[in-house]
Structure 1
Amino acid sequence: MMKPENHNRKTEGDINQTLARNTWMETQVDENTKSFLEEDARYFLHQSMSTPCLDVIKKSNQSSFFNLQGKPYLDFHGNNVHQVGYNQEELIENLIKQLHKLPFSPRRYTNKPAIKFAKKLASLTPSDLNRVLLTPNGSSAVGIALKLARAVTGKFKVVSFWDSFHGASLDAISVGGEAVFRDSMGPLMPGVERIPPPVTYRGIFEDNEDKCLEYLEYVFKKEGDIGAFIAETVRNTDVQTPSKSFWQKARALCNTHNVLLILDEIPIALGRTGYMFAFEHYGIEPDILCLGKGLGGGIFPQAAIVTRDKFNICQEISLGHYTHEKSPLGSVCGLTTIDIIEKEQLLKKVRRDELYMRSSLEALKIKYPLIGDIRGMGLLWGIELVTSKDTKEKAVDEAERIMYECLAEGLSFKVSAGNVLQLSPPLTISREDLDKALNILDRALLKISDQINNHQTIV
């Protein structure tokens, strides 16, 4: 039996269990597709945010994927793996070549692609961030980072933010701040101290991020045995961007209290924010950097941590003893992805696209009272919808209706925090496709706003 909707617990994906979802099935999905969706629902274990599925896709190319009937969806979600777009020819060619040479490297042996990949990652990061461990997924990269921090500091306690997301494994949800991932999970990893993120203090203390810093310093001093502070440099889900001052002060607090700073850039690195790494915006360095998602070029699951030379002290500890640790295939995908970003000068392109997106979305904000806030950098944007600009009450139902209107016209994105439309297209997206997506969004906002105006007014 379907649980009653709880708007306070809405996250991306809960839209899969609503009346609007039923309408989608009735009006947008043909019988052939329904039969596959029924098989999917029969054989896959159901879980929040994944099931039931919306459609069946059969191919992808550049900025779009296509369903069984050939309908294209511009992909402004992509699970953050599609920095270089889909079916990137050079990436596929290099992967095929490697498949024919060496598809797998057993433990205790290395291989040239893995060495080149680690060397490349070290060359991209500043100062002594030269030590790498490779792993198949972001959650395990976070796990490695937490284990390394314990080994280096001798302290097991860690500070993280409420509402943060660091992966879905048991250790990752232990330090994560989204309650939906902890439901029914019982006792989790001990020693986690969560604090409200900087965004908590916006609009209450005149955007006073220093309140968050005071809280952070208080916990560092009060506990006295904190080993690490883990955070997303920029929160990906609903696109929260702290100030440069915040991160510089937070970095200084970590230095003062001998706390390692772990920056989780799994979804936002590799050009998403206009720089190879988001921390470059803030003039800081992490002690441990977590990477993943787009690192495999949208083809192969590949993640990594990068840390300082002086932390190479775990020769007798297994930090990330994974079967596919030094994957030749993952390494080739990572190397090629970075090479494409550099050769095609995607960082410069993304910074140009940022200006275009900002002006276009701000114009929509002026046009529609439903939009309470526009946030973003590079090609990562959040459109926060509210029922009232005074109370800033979340427009949860409206966000869902807009999402389905856009899906019907071929624009896919996710809704985060219940009311934030998160737009995250490939870095390679053309201006023509950007305009197409913005026009679809404009029409959806107009339609839902007109429906609202017939019943109530946003004040």
Structure 2
Amino acid sequence: METTIFNKTEGDINLTEERARWQQTFLSPRAKELLEEDSRYFLHQALSTPCLDPIAGAEGIYLIDEDGRKIMDFHGNSVHQLGYHHPALVRALQDQLSQLSFSPRRYSNRTATALAKKLCGLMPGGKGWKVLFTPSGAASNSIALKLARKATGKHKTISLWDSFHGANLDTISIGGEAHFRSGIGPLLPGCCHVFPYNSYRCIFGDCTDCGLKCVDYLEYVCRCEGDIGAIIMEPIRCTDVQIPPQEYYRRIRGICDDYGILLIFDEIPTSFGRTGTMFAFENYDIEPDILVTGKGLGGSLYPISAVIAKESLDVCQDISLGHYTHEKSPLGCAVGLALLEYIEQEHLLEHVADLNALMERRAKEMKASLPAVGDVRLIGALLGIELVRDRETREKAVDEAEKILYRCLEQGLSFKISQGNVLTLAPPLIISEAELSHALDIVECGIKALT
């Protein structure tokens, strides 16, 4: 009997028989005791608590659990572009800690200004942009929403069903997952939702010849509402790896210009090389009005996120957009600056291109040889493998996907499951081609054995 799916858009469920079997078989008594203690003292929530496995260390592409197992991490909560405990980032953090560890809000500091200048210089044109830092992506999306309201005088937004923009009350309002919204009560007013782009099972039919009816509908909502202030989207959806065509965003950019709407791109999980470019929107030959980044900016060492907005939107001098305690954290900014410098100086984007070529070849081979692989979607070093029970009916292989996850964990590979049946593989960008090939062997063997 198939596992009940409450909502599996954002990740795998943590209360299944399959997980319990894996833990019973592979965790030591000491590890189980630690998990029981975690469960005792932390509030429970789906997707995270109760936990899978206690971690004792993290180095490079690996997590090391309490039982000494080394696990290649192809999930990493999207913070692991440079893997874990990267020497360049650790050194930057230590150096900054020895000089200036905290900067109160009313003061400036050299490191925060340097990172802001660096980020603005990476944006289109290299100038005409401004930044605010926050401790989290959700907080940055909140700032983007407030900035859009202030700049346009309009409070309504358009976002996508199944989207995720953070777990705060305002960000679950624009987010489109029932998993985060259900049972919470009244949400933020004015949050309109439209159908997401979906390359495999478009609600309007085959996306290859439908003429992007999803964008036609989006424009219809803009025209009917008349007072939309912002459209917020992930340019590349990270969880189940949806990669719209160029025309999709060209049309949306045109709609925003025609109706006086700000375009906000949420790149919290995809900036800084994941899609093969420094920013994901660079794949589309357009630019947003506001860009939100995070996760990887802190290099897995420090929580930091950034809102990057066009200079013309600097209109909030009379209110406080953020006012966060760690708004200009010298520690977080030191890590972020070191990360960007490493990506540039070590030509990491060129390495991502090599990883992409390897992943493309292997993904095509899997789709051709494994009937359970209904679709593969790849950009940069982000791969989604969609599993089906039948390619004609496109029935999701949900139970099979979960079994594959735990089989791969047995072999030392961790990744994410999205939408119940998409194996989402996001390796650290520093991974070697040999390590990546080994990980893909594990995935392929798992699919062969359990489908």
Q: TM-score, normalised by structure 1?
A: 0.95
User: Does the Cα contact within 8 Å between 2:266 and 2:293 map onto a contact in 1?
Assistant: yes
Residue by residue, what CA displacement relative to the aligned partner does 1:98-117 show, whole Å, maximum 9, x if unpaired?
A: 11111110011010000001
Partner of 1:412: 414
User: Does the Cα contact within 8 Å between 2:11 and 2:47 map onto a contact in 1?
Assistant: yes
Distance 1:212 1:100 in 2: 53
Partner of 2:8: 10
Distance 1:185 1:25 in 2: 32
> Map of 1:113-152 to 2, 5 A cutoff?
113-127=111-125, 128-152=127-151
Q: Tell me the amino acid that sits aligned with residue 449 of structure 2.
A: K
Partner of 1:157: 156
User: Does the Cα contact within 8 Å between 2:161 and 2:194 map onto a contact in 1?
Assistant: yes
Q: Tell me the amino acid that sits aligned with residue 233 of structure 2.
A: A
Deviates more, 1:49-58 or 1:323-332: 49-58
Residue by residue, what CA displacement relative to the aligned partner does 1:58-102 show, whole Å, maximum 9, x if unpaired?
A: 111111111122211000000000001111111111101111111
Distance 1:152 1:165 in 2: 24
Instruction: Quickly say closer, same or farther: Cα 1:261–1:208, change in 2 above 3 A.
Output: same
User: Does the Cα contact within 8 Å between 2:6 and 2:179 map onto a contact in 1?
Assistant: no
> Displacement, 1:380?
0.7
Partner of 2:174: 175
> Of 237, 255, 265, which aligns to 1:263?
265
> Of 415, 427, 433, which aligns to 1:431?
433
Partner of 2:195: 196
User: Does the Cα contact within 8 Å between 2:3 and 2:399 map onto a contact in 1?
Assistant: no
Task: For residue 69 of structure 1, give the secondary structure of its aligned residue in structure 2.
Answer: coil
Partner of 2:280: 278
Q: Tell me the amino acid that sits aligned with residue 213 of structure 1.
A: V
Q: Tell me the amino acid that sits aligned with residue 355 of structure 1.
A: A
Distance 2:183 2:128 in 1: 38
Q: Tell me the amino acid that sits aligned with residue 174 of structure 2.
A: V
Q: Tell me the amino acid that sits aligned with residue 17 of structure 1.
A: L
Q: Tell me the amino acid that sits aligned with residue 278 of structure 1.
A: A
Deviates more, 1:120-129 or 1:323-332: 120-129
Task: For residue 386 of structure 1, give the secondary structure of its aligned residue in structure 2.
Answer: strand
Partner of 2:76: 78
> Of 316, 319, 323, which aligns to 1:317?
319
1:366 matched to 2:368? The reply is yes
Distance 1:391 1:158 in 2: 35
**Segments of 4+ moved more than 6 angstroms:** none
Partner of 1:457: none
Deviates more, 1:425-434 or 1:8-17: 8-17
Residue by residue, what CA displacement relative to the aligned partner does 1:193-227 show, whole Å, maximum 9, x if unpaired?
A: 10001213474464425201111111111000000
Partner of 2:101: 103
Partner of 1:236: 238
1:298 matched to 2:300? The reply is yes
User: Does the Cα contact within 8 Å between 1:13 and 1:48 map onto a contact in 2?
Assistant: no
Residue by residue, what CA displacement relative to the aligned partner does 1:371-401 show, whole Å, maximum 9, x if unpaired?
A: 1000010011100001110110111000000
Task: For residue 9 of structure 1, give the secondary structure of its aligned residue in structure 2.
Answer: coil
Q: Tell me the amino acid that sits aligned with residue 308 of structure 2.
A: V
Unaligned runs of 5+ in 1: 450-459
Deviates more, 1:33-42 or 1:61-70: 61-70
Q: Tell me the amino acid that sits aligned with residue 171 of structure 1.
A: D
Deviates more, 1:352-361 or 1:395-404: 352-361
Distance 1:426 1:375 in 2: 18
Residue by residue, what CA displacement relative to the aligned partner does 1:96-139 show, whole Å, maximum 9, x if unpaired?
A: 11111111100110100000010000000013551000001000
Distance 2:250 2:322 in 1: 30
Distance 2:323 2:215 in 1: 36
Task: For residue 16 of structure 1, give the secondary structure of its aligned residue in structure 2.
Answer: coil
Instruction: Quickly say closer, same or farther: Cα 1:202–1:436, change in 2 above 3 A.
Output: farther
Q: Tell me the amino acid that sits aligned with residue 432 of structure 1.
A: A
The alignment covers a number of residue pairs equal to 446
> Displacement, 1:445?
1.1
Query: Percentage identity across aligned positions?
Result: 50
Residue by residue, what CA displacement relative to the aligned partner does 1:278-300 show, whole Å, maximum 9, x if unpaired?
A: 11110000000000000001110
Partner of 1:218: 220
Task: For residue 372 of structure 1, give the secondary structure of its aligned residue in structure 2.
Answer: strand
Partner of 1:185: 184
Q: Tell me the amino acid that sits aligned with residue 219 of structure 1.
A: V
> Map of 1:343-362 to 2, 5 A cutoff?
343-362=345-364
Task: For residue 97 of structure 2, give the secondary structure of its aligned residue in structure 1.
Answer: helix
Task: For residue 14 of structure 2, give the secondary structure of its aligned residue in structure 1.
Answer: helix
> Displacement, 1:13?
4.3
1:43 matched to 2:58? The reply is no
User: Does the Cα contact within 8 Å between 1:201 and 1:211 map onto a contact in 2?
Assistant: no
Distance 2:433 2:203 in 1: 36
Distance 1:58 1:435 in 2: 26
